[in-house]
Amino acid sequence: MSATLGDLPFIDLYVRLDQPDQAYYRSKERSQSMISQPVPGDYQLSIDRFMAAVNERLKEHSDGALESEGVRVRLSKQKMSDNSFWVCARRINTEIPDITKLGLQQNILDHMIGLGKRDGLIVISGATGQGKTTTAVGLLGYYLNNYGGTAVTIEDPCEFMLAGHHNKGGHCFQVEVEKDEDWAICLKRALRWAPRYIYVGEVRTPKAAEQLLRAASTGHLVITTVHAGAIEEALMGIIFLAEQSMGSGVHSMLAACLTGLVNQTIRDTGPMLKYLFTEENSPGDPVRALIRDNKIGMLSTYIDRVAARLKNPAPGGAFPPAAIPGLPGVKKT
């Protein structure tokens, strides 16, 4: 009996679609996650079935999602320079991640969990494959289970099965977007559902960035992911997109609604986070001031100071604000 796709411990699977060829995969085991390995021969029948299913699913599209032999994957098809066609299949976990078991540093985790009682914008940034979605969905799942409320997610594709009831007071509706121009439309429509939480799988278009900021400024807690190598890059990316739709005023709106931003990198020892958290109801917060004044490059100084303070929290677990030279101090609220 040949092995099935569900037995292969892959996080990314690379399969040629136009003719049989050696398939490769990246293991979900951390120690081997950066190595491209050939798929063993006893998986060949499973790979053949998978290739046929992908060709059927992606007849008219280059991206999509598929469930095969008990494994759900996100698909991205690409024509190569030699005219061959390959697909990268990213494994999707159907089990909602437990944010408390992802290996996050406890004092950072405690603060991220507390953000669920606020509104505004939480941004999870990082490079491809660094666990952004896992962390974002883990946060949303925790909020739904512990704080209750209605959530609407907007994704392409839906990577975790969040739809349905959560604990006693949480409920989630998931929307899958097919075209880039639909992101802003779905976001605008989601506001009519009076959600407590909105999760946007990725900020892709200027209109979507505008709607994201408007939603975060009107009493909702919005969680989103951004492809970026650093916190400053994530903020500049959102600003760049939103300015194309809104023009001026983006810096002030982002400064007012930003609640928290983390940049995540996966190491052998677990996730490594750099982070910014703003003070609630504090317009003079130094992070907000730097964003308003378009001095995002100075945030690195603040990031280092916040990291030091979170390692040595004030008595009672308070999150002490940090002053930056040239900016007014922050009063605790």
Q: Are residues 16 and 148 in the same domain?
A: no
CA distance 92 to 292: 38
| CATH number (domain holding residue 309) | 3.40.50.300
Does residue 328 sit within a domain?
no
Bridge partners, 15 (sequence order): 87
Given a cut of 80, is residue 214 above it in pLDDT?
Answer: yes
| CATH number (domain holding residue 9) | 3.30.450
Q: Are residues 173 and 237 in the same domain?
A: yes
Does residue 182 sit within a domain?
yes
Does residue 149 sit within a domain?
yes
End-of-domain residue from the set 67, 92, 117:
92
Cis, bond preceding 157 (omega within 30 deg of 0): yes
Does residue 233 sit within a domain?
yes
Question: For the chain, how many structural domains are there in total?
Answer: 2
Given a cut of 90, is residue 178 above it in pLDDT?
Answer: no
Sheet holding 85-92, edge to edge: 36-38, 24-27, 10-16, 85-92, 71-79, 63-68
Q: Are residues 81 and 124 in the same domain?
A: no
Does residue 179 sit within a domain?
yes
| Paired tokens of 265 | 């990198």
Cα 85 versus chain centre, distance: 28
Return the pLDDT at 327.
Answer: 42
Given a cut of 50, is residue 306 above it in pLDDT?
Answer: yes
Nearest to 243 by CA among 203, 290, 194, 274: 203
Residue 40 is part of which domain span? 5-92
pLDDT bucket at 321, cuts 50 / 70 / 90: very low
Q: Are residues 76 and 195 in the same domain?
A: no
